[in-house]
Amino acid sequence: MEKKNNLAPPFNNLALSFNNLALTFNNRALAFNNLALAFNNLALAFNNLALSFNNLALAFNNLALAFNNLALTFNNLAPPFNNLALSFNNLALTFNNLALAFNNLALAFNNLALAFNNLALAFNNLALAFNNLALAFNNLAPAFNNLALAFNNLALAFNNLAPAFNNLALAFNNLAPAFNNLALPFNNLALAFNNLAPAINNLAPATKN
Q: What is the pLDDT of residue 5?
A: 59
CB contact at 8 A, 93 and 86: no
Q: How many domains does the chain have?
A: 1
Name 115's Cβ contacts closer than 8 Å, sequence gap at least 6.
49
* Choice among 124-128, 157-161, 164-168, 200-204 with the minimum mean pLDDT: 200-204
Over its C-alpha atoms, the chain yields an Rg (Å, rounded) of: 50
pLDDT band at 1 (very low <50, low <70, confident <90, very high): very low
CB contact at 8 A, 87 and 73: yes
Instruction: Tell me the torsion sign for CA atoms 60, 63, 67, 69.
Output: positive
Q: What is the pLDDT of residue 208?
A: 63
Higher-confidence position of 135 and 195: 135
Domain extent at residue 79: 2-208
